[in-house]
Structures are given as structure tokens and as C-alpha cells.
Amino acid sequence: MSQPLLRLEDVHVHFPIAQGLLKPPRHLRAVNGVSLAVEPGTTLGIVGESGCGKSTLARAILGIHPPTHGKIWLGDQELTSMAPKPLRAMRKRMQIVFQDPLASLNPRMTIGEAIMEPLRVFFPEMSALQRKRKAQAMMERVGLLPNQINRYPHEFSGGQCQRVGIARALVVEPELLLCDEPVSALDVSIQAQIVNLLMELKQDMGLTMLFIAHDLSVVRHISDRVMVMYLGKVAEQAERDALYQAPAHPYTQALIESVPVPDPVIERGKSRAPLSGDLPSPLNPPSGCTFRTRCPKAQSACATDVPELREHHGGQGAVACHFA
């Protein structure tokens, strides 16, 4: 097996929340002990409800939110011990596509200027003509017309703006692409186009991807492995087919069961109850297993003992549940 391109070891990201002048701050545990490894050329899908720490984890990998604890490696380089200047240079190897395509683009810049901006930062030796040609080539690669290079973001649809965001991320030819819910703000038909585009670019450019999403059907289509997060922790991770065919954690089971099926007979015949209740606050998480307040299998041990992530799925995955 090859060396992982991306490796995380017990990563925590906590944010201090002030309570007043005389009270010590409380800590919001957005990411609370995540370890993972992503092999080169593969896609890891990360799923979970809003507030479970998916986006914070992606920003911790990029160094936008420095980890409170733990280590992150890109290849053989440890990112968490790097000074700001060399870490900025490492970002040429890892780029991100954001959720809102319009909000991620400067409305005062043409799309050509937006795509060429990373080239000015990471390749200052390139001439203006070289940057323009490279930007136009990348535009064509993502399905945009090169002669649109002088247009502004407001002249494009949401799907086209997301193509601009993808071109901007990939123009520096990174090794790792983080996709933070890149299709959740788009129409269903456009979602399929963007997902297929990402899969084609991954194959053509040899990319390694982290794909964050709520939609489990999209994650299943694009991912090689899937990691399920709940309240800052890993609930379950496994090969895609193993996880979808035999989910072990009650939370994973509830998420998969909540995906609508376009067949009324199958939909009515679902055996498991949908997930109930709200996600607890990461400022005051439940003791023991954090999922116990919503879990149909919860017992007294769940309130006192924190479940460890243990091997499951025939050694091809892991699950954090006492009764998986």
C-alpha cells in the first residue's frame, strides 16, 4: 500500500467562547479527535449533519483554523509545525472549492482575474500572457468558453460560477482538492454535471479529494471511502460499498434510511425510524457517547463510557459504538 497523501492524527479544533470579564471562556469543540488517512488518487467522502465539524476539519487541513491539538501531514511534510510562510507555499499543493459559488468570487474581479490570481501568488515568474493562456485552458477544461474571460461573476449562473471556482482551485495543479459541499447550493441537474466534472478532473489530473456533503447519494457516487462525523468525532468509516450495504453505527443507519427512494412501496416499507431530535450543542455535549440522546439502542453504559473507534467491516473500516 502506498504512503497516504493526507494523514491526520488525533486532530482537535476548539474555539474559546467568552462569558464575560470575570469568567473563564468556554470551549466549543468543533473537531474533537479525528484521525484519518487518504491514499493518493482516492476520494474520501465526509458526511454528517450541519454543525458536526466537517467544514472546520477542512479548514484545519488548510491551516485556516490551526488545530488546537494533533498533527496533520501532507505527504511527508507535517503542516501543523510549519511557520506561516512555508505553510502558505504548501497551499499550492492543496486547494478548496467552497459551498457558495457566488460568495467565493470577488464581484469586482472578472472571472479571468479570479482564475489568474493563484498563478500570480504561486508562480510570480509567469508572464501576463502565460497566465492568461493557462487560465483560458483551464476554463475550457471545466466547460467554460475561453472568450468569457473578461466577464464578471454576476453574468453567470450558479453552476457556471462553481465551474469558475473549480478552475481557480485547479489552475495551480494541486495534489489535494477539498470540496466543501460544492453542489448543495445548485439545482439537482446541475449537481450531477458538477459531480461528473469533478470525477473526470480527478481521473485526468490524478487528484486526491476530500468531498464534504449532506447528500449521501452524491457521496456514494463520487467516493471510494466514506467517513461519518457526529459532533466533532468520527462515528464510522469504511469502504463505500461496505458502509452503504451494512452500516454499523445507528447514526449511519439513520442517515442512510433518511435518503428518499423514488419508489412508494420501498419508501413505505422502511423499517427504521427516521432520526429524531436536534444535534446537541458542542459547547455542552452529552457525556459518554455523544449520540446517546438520539440513539434507539442507547443503554446505561452509553452515558458513562466513551466508545472507542474500533475495527469493523472485516478490517476494512471502523466504528465508534458499544453495540454496533
At 19-30, the pLDDT tens digits run: 887 888 888 999
Confidence label for 267 from pLDDT (cuts 50, 70 and 90): low
Per-residue pLDDT, averaged over 191-218, amounts to: 93
- The pLDDT of residue 101 is 86
Confidence label for 316 from pLDDT (cuts 50, 70 and 90): confident
- Total-model pTM: 0.92
- The pLDDT of residue 257 is 83
**Between 139 and 51, residue with greater pLDDT:** 139
Q: Is the pLDDT of residue 270 over 70?
A: no
Confidence label for 56 from pLDDT (cuts 50, 70 and 90): very high
The helix or strand, by DSSP H or E, that contains position 177, with its residue range, turns out to be strand 176-180
- The pLDDT of residue 276 is 76
Collect all residues with Cβ–Cβ distance below 8 Å to 211 and sequence separation of at least 6: 43, 44, 45, 46, 179, 182, 198, 219, 222, 223
Identity of the residue numbered 267: E
Per-residue pLDDT, averaged over 302-318, amounts to: 90
Cα separation, 179 vs 29, whole angstroms: 22
- The pLDDT of residue 236 is 96
Q: pLDDT of 73-96, one tens digit each?
A: 999 999 998 998 999 889 999 999
Cα separation, 135 vs 111, whole angstroms: 9
- The pLDDT of residue 206 is 95
Per-residue pLDDT, averaged over 167-171, amounts to: 97
Q: pLDDT of 207-219, one tens digit each?
A: 999 999 988 888 9
Confidence label for 126 from pLDDT (cuts 50, 70 and 90): very high
- For the range 260-269, what are the long-range contacts, defined as Cβ-Cβ under 8 Å and sequence gap of 24 or more? none
Backbone angles phi, psi at 258, to 5 degrees: -80, -10
- The pLDDT of residue 20 is 80
Cα separation, 143 vs 140, whole angstroms: 5
Handedness of CA 91, 94, 95, 99 (dihedral sign): negative
Contact between 316 and 238 under an 8 Å Cβ cutoff? The reply is: yes
Q: Which residues, listed in sequence order, are joined to residue 211 by a DSSP beta bridge?
A: 45, 179
Domains and CATH numbers, the chain: 6-310 (3.40.50.300)
Confidence label for 1 from pLDDT (cuts 50, 70 and 90): low
Contact between 315 and 242 under an 8 Å Cβ cutoff? The reply is: no
- The pLDDT of residue 274 is 64
- Alpha helix ranges (H) inside the chain: 54-62, 84-90, 111-122, 128-141, 158-170, 188-205, 216-222, 240-245, 250-257, 264-268
- The pLDDT of residue 319 is 95
**Closest C-alpha to 45, from 166, 200, 216, 163:** 216
- The pLDDT of residue 216 is 85
**219 grid coordinates:** 457521496
Query: How many residues would you count in the chain?
Result: 324
CA neighbours closer than 13 Å in the CB half-sphere of residue 292 = 19
Q: Which residues, listed in sequence order, are joined to residue 27 by a DSSP beta bridge?
A: 16
Residue 94 φ/ψ region, left for φ over 0, alpha for ψ in the -120 to 50 degree band, beta for the rest: beta
